[in-house]
Amino acid sequence: MTTTDAAPATAPGKPFDTERVLAELTLEEKASLLSGVDFWHTQPVERDGEALVPSVMVTDGPHGLRKQAESADHLGIGNSVPATCFPTAAALGSTWDAALLRRVGVALGRETRANDVAVLLGPGVNIKRSPLCGRNFEYLSEDPLVAGELGAALVQGIQSQGVGTSLKHYAANNQEADRMRVSADVDERTLREIYLPAFERVVKQAQPWTVMCSYNKVNDVYASQNRWLLTEVLRDEWGFEGLVVSDWGAVRDRVAAVAAGLDLEMPSSGGRTDAQVVAAVREGRLDEADVDAAVRNVLRLVSRAQPALAEPGAFDAAEHHALAREAASAGTVLLKNDAVDGAPLLPLAGGEGLAVVGELARTPRYQGAGSSQVNPTQLDDALTALRTATGAEVPFAAGYAVDAKDAGSGTDAEALRAEAVEVARAARTVVVHLGLPASYESEGYDREHMDLPADQVALLEAVAAVNPRVVVVLSNGSAVTVAPWQGLAPAIVEGWLGGQASGGAVADVLLGAANPSGRLAETLPVRLEDNPSYGNFPGELGHVRYGEGIFVGYRWYDARGIDVAFPFGHGLSYTTFAYDDVAAEVTGSGAEAGVRVTVRVTNTGDRAGAEVVQVYVADPQSQVQRPERELKAFAKVALEPGEAREVVLDLDARALSYWHPVLRRWVVEGGEFVVAVGASSRDLRGAVTVEVEGEDVRLPLHELSTVTEALADPRVGEQLREVVYGSGAFAEDLLAMVGDMPLAVIADFGMAGFDRARLGELLAAANA
């Protein structure tokens, strides 16, 4: 059993009456509570030697506890307590398994509680806009539904243990380049449909104790002082009840931030910004009611943390390591498994004739760099795990150095490669471990390209030239280019950064002890240039334009029919699944509309396995441009060989809606919808067309509405048609010319007796 020996800075007790405490505080004490006392602790308030308001500790996550001493570096793993390093979000997202992530969350919560920490700073649910984002390993998906559902599960699990979470980074934090100053310039529809829904879903389903604002600006306003984000959307619309905390060092104007809805600035400012808040209240530039609202949220956080701090408990490190191994194997994606000698190359039959090549098999890369680095309780490597599982002394050659540059040549590289070729030549099957060095991806900077190191690709080419039975295992936190070399390997296994137990998980998958059930939560493009953000990432001169709008990830590739290496949702299994009896039934109408989707899924193979059933919705005709298809529901279904099950997935009105850029609300536009069920965005097994009765989404007519818009309006269309065409002043075939003319222009022409007075009558009738 593992616990912590560190005593809390202030002895924990029972929850306290926040309103009573608030009433006792001076303005100076209130202001002090709105920033940290140091790097990791909130500010205490003492009276007569006793804590009126205790201090609590928060610390980094999200895939493992990173509790550091105050003297630590805050960026590396120095002085961090040992903690289970679970798979990174890139791997957890690929599980598509909310129940599993809830269990991981419970384990994270236990470790957080056992170490006297009140809040674990995570999870991150930002969208993977570009594969180059240096922090993509901390984010779950390119799709807001996947990110939101899995993020909510993590939050529910962690908070079930009496400790809090910090949902981050809110919002539009999709790059590391210039992250502390850049303005993410995004239209509202894109924000509402792509970049905000994951946060919204987690808030509404799980109520995280805190939400962390991002460093960047959103449409030229820093997130830390963006009232629309922090108050109007987060609290007023979504009903967030917790505390808003800044990312560390994200506050530019503390007074403006308090007024906007930011409660807690971290880390400590040494009292500088506390004094600014006091002065602003004294001078009438800041309403003390805004200060009270922020202090109230801080007090509630501290109060609700007291029971767990009073009884921290313990956790079983071995049990958590086993869970980390299960989660890593569940997030492993079998990208490819072609037949060699008449049978799929994987799973391996055992250790006989097996060889392993690649330094990453011996020296694993299992987590990303930066503030999420964890000091693991133990660490598996794939080479040892394979040898242990097979009972064989599997031959090994390093093949490359993990810190090598992209040269791909030189005496040392050539010698390592030559040794690996000889090992591969003597083997029946060779497993080649490839991946990204730690320096390639980290918090604080973005990647320059998507490619593997050149010496690793050269190694694969050399090995494949002497042995056709090649399995590639990837270790990377972000999508890598596979198209140039994927033809060299009959089998490709994407292991991501799978945490401290990733070595054992890889062995489980390769040997068939675990049937791979991971699915891609992000598209693997053929080239970086195919990505929708290309040309608009990472921006210039302090601005990044989200010019692709809602067409992010698979929405872009599918709408434009662009070839991809592997599509969103893709992942193979050691068994097969059949889809039958796809059906969809509409219930309700308008804002109350819904669709119940049913499908029968059968395991048609000879192994137990899990399939991820994905439901995509298309709206072929709409007032606005919509994607070719959008994921709106999914379920992971475990089936024994020969077992069949009816899967039911319910879509609510929101799943049919789009954000109307003029009405500025979600709308269900009536008409036909195509509901498709499949195993990826490009592997659709069945589709049903349904008719949905929508809302009235007609826009008010005004003087600058066009003739075409007015003619299409059932309220006045016939009247206008009689006016415009009845006298013969305009022929029907001239509609193409006059159709885009504003009504006011036609009225000013004075033709056919249609003047401003008549226009006023039509507008009054239309908008009554």
Residues facing residue 213 across a β-bridge = 170, 246
The structure tokens listed for 133 are 């984002």
Backbone dihedral angles phi then psi of residue 472, each to the nearest 5 degrees: -100, 130
Q: 3-class DSSP state for residue 181?
A: coil
The pairing of beta strand 333-337 with beta strand 491-494: antiparallel
Judge whether 561 and 323 are in contact, CB under 8 Å: no
Residue with tokens 């003087």: 703
DSSP string of 227-254? HIIIIIIIIIIT---SEEEE-TT--S-H
Judge whether 671 and 664 are in contact, CB under 8 Å: no
Judge whether 89 and 368 are in contact, CB under 8 Å: no
For residues 54 and 68, give the distance between their C-alpha atoms in angstroms, rounded to a whole number: 20
For residues 136 and 395, give the distance between their C-alpha atoms in angstroms, rounded to a whole number: 34
Would you say how long the chain is, in residues?
768
Judge whether 387 and 348 are in contact, CB under 8 Å: no
Backbone dihedral angles phi then psi of residue 475, each to the nearest 5 degrees: -125, 105
For residues 594 and 597, give the distance between their C-alpha atoms in angstroms, rounded to a whole number: 10
DSSP string of 576-626? -EEEEEEEEEEES-GGG-EEEEEEEEEE-SSS-EEEEEEEEEE-SS-SS--
Residues facing residue 472 across a β-bridge = 432, 492
Distance of CA 342 to the CA centre of its chain: 39
Backbone dihedral angles phi then psi of residue 316, each to the nearest 5 degrees: -95, 105
- Identify the CA nearest to 184 among candidates 219, 228, 212: 219
Annotated catalytic residue: which of 247, 274, 381, 446? 247
- Identify the CA nearest to 286 among candidates 258, 266, 309: 258
Judge whether 511 and 350 are in contact, CB under 8 Å: yes
The structure tokens listed for 677 are 């069920």
What number of other Cβ atoms are within 10 A of residue 72's Cβ?
16
- Identify the CA nearest to 570 among candidates 328, 329, 336, 330: 336
426, HSE (Cβ side, Cα atoms, 13 Å): 12
Residue 247 annotated in active site: yes
- Cβ neighbours for 39, distance < 8 A, ≥ 6 positions apart: 70, 74, 248, 266, 267, 268
Show which residues are catalytic.
Answer: 247
